[in-house]
Chains A and B, each alone.
Chain A
Amino acid sequence: MNIFKKYKMLVSIKEAFDNLPCGVAFFEKNGTPLLVNRKMYGLVYDLLETELQSLDDIEILLKVQFVFSSEGRVWRFERIISESEKDFIEIKAADVTEIYMYKLRLDEAVEEQKSIMRRMQRITRNIVSITRNEEILSMKMNIHNELGFILSNSRQFISQGCPENEKQDYIDLQRKTVKML
């Protein structure tokens, strides 16, 4: 292959690389840029307002899950771990706008589910509380009625002159009431 053809091929590769819809950059192990496409340069300038000079410049973008460009798109920067990592470092910036939108909808759905769960728990607690209050009320009414009955019985026993043949029933009733209380 002559030099001209080889040069033309390299230019074509570079052109194709620059036209990729995602940002791609290769760095030396010491952080010096080896190959950076147009999209990556544009993104770094848009997001950090600085030219991409070294790997350190975009470390901050690798630490966050999502970054938002001025044109309203959402990007994710990640370090591609591959065999070539031994020789150079590859960074990729992918347009994840749609994934981000799905994630937002998912977060909303999860939040709504949590809210429903909280409501259900509140309703369950209320049901328990209402049941308990009803039981307490029933117990109070039971005690009140029982004491009213024993009082009426007791007064009848006294007004009849405490008859000997009714004494045992009267005492049994008293013992039962004491036990209930």
Chain B
Amino acid sequence: MLNQSQKYIERYGELAEMLAAEKDPEKIKKLAVETDFIIAFIKRRLNIIFLHEEDENINCAELCCCIEESLKTLRLNGIECSCISELKKTMDFERMTYLYEGFYRFVSDITDDISSLHVYLRAYGDTVCILMYITSRSDLSGISGIQREGDKWVFMIE
């Protein structure tokens, strides 16, 4: 069960040690936010695993709760966030973990640069995708798949 989350737990351990060694208050805050972000991810990912043990398909609302838990961390860092889903459907475990891991990896790479993040869960064929609208102080055009729409960056995990 925990093996599936092993790489994230290892990263969590690394962050704890980096925090222990750090003296600069700014860097400590940055590391603490990153640590909080990964704890929220591990907690919610385990929740999905536990739910999967009960049922093959999981309600989309659970993915919204997972993302919302992660967004709470970003709000602590002064980032304006929201997660909106009007989907009343279910998705399988693999799809849900794929989307949540994709969200985690993408957001953890840009946390320092963004000022707002609005997440939408949209129907995508028979399944669901994550659409994100981002306001950033930095140029994110180097990220593969990201697009510019007015003053926002748009990224989709499909």
Do A and B come together as binding partners?
yes
Q: Which residues of A contact B (CB under 8 A)?
A: 140, 143-144, 147-148, 150-151, 154-155, 157-159, 161-162, 164, 167, 170-171, 174-175, 177-178, 181
* Cβ distance A128 to chain B, nearest Cβ, rounded Å: 19
- Residue B58 lies at the interface, judged by CB distance under 8 Å to chain A: no
* Cβ 8 A contact of B42, one of A147, A157, A171: A147
Chain B contact surface mostly: helix
Q: Is the CB of A154 within 8 A of B32?
A: yes
* Chain A residues, Cβ within 8 Å of B12: 174, 177-178, 181
- Asked, given contacts A151-B39, A181-B2, whether A161 binds B9 with beta carbons under 8 Å apart, the answer is no
Given A148-B43, A171-B20, A181-B9: A155 in contact with B35 (beta carbons within 8 A) = no
- Given A143-B46, A151-B43, A161-B29, the answer on whether A174 and B16 have CB atoms closer than 8 Å is yes
Q: Does B66 reach chain A (CB closer than 8 Å)?
A: no
| A157 CB, min distance to chain B CBs, angstroms | 6
Chain A residues positioned under 8 Å from B50 (CB to CB): 140, 144
Residues of B within 8 A of A143 (CB): 46
Chain B residues with CB under 8 A of A170: 19, 32
Q: Which 7 A-B pairs have the closest CB atoms?
A: A174-B16, A147-B43, A178-B13, A154-B36, A171-B20, A181-B9, A158-B76
| Chain B residues, Cβ within 8 Å of A175 | 13, 16, 20
Q: What is the size, in residues, of chain B's interface with A at 8 Å between Cβ atoms?
A: 27
Q: CA separation between A151 and B40, bound complex, in Å? A: 7
A-B contact count (CB 8 A): 65
Are the C-beta atoms of B29 and A162 separated by less than 8 Å?
A: yes
Give A104 Cβ to nearest chain B Cβ, in Å: 50
Given A140-B50, A157-B32, A158-B32: A171 in contact with B43 (beta carbons within 8 A): no
- A140–B51 Cα distance when bound, in Å, is 11
Residue of B nearest to A161 (CB): B29
Q: Which residues of A contact B5 (CB under 8 A)?
A: 181
**Structural contact, B16 and A154, CB atoms closer than 8 A:** no
Q: How many Å lie between the Cα of A16 and that of B26 in the bound state?
A: 120
| Nearest chain B CB to A22 CB, angstrom units | 70
Q: Which residues of the partner chain B approach A159 to less than 8 Å between Cβ atoms?
A: 76
The distance in angstroms between the C-alpha atoms of A111 and B50, with both chains bound, is 43
Q: Tell me which residues from 41 to 87 in chain B have a Cβ below 8 Å from any Cβ of chain A.
A: 42-43, 46-47, 50, 72-73, 76-77
Q: What's the minimum C-beta distance from B5 to chain A, rounded to whole angstroms?
A: 8
A158: B residues at CB distance < 8 A: 29, 32-33, 36, 76-77
- Which residues of the other chain, A, contact B25 by a CB distance below 8 angstroms? 162, 164
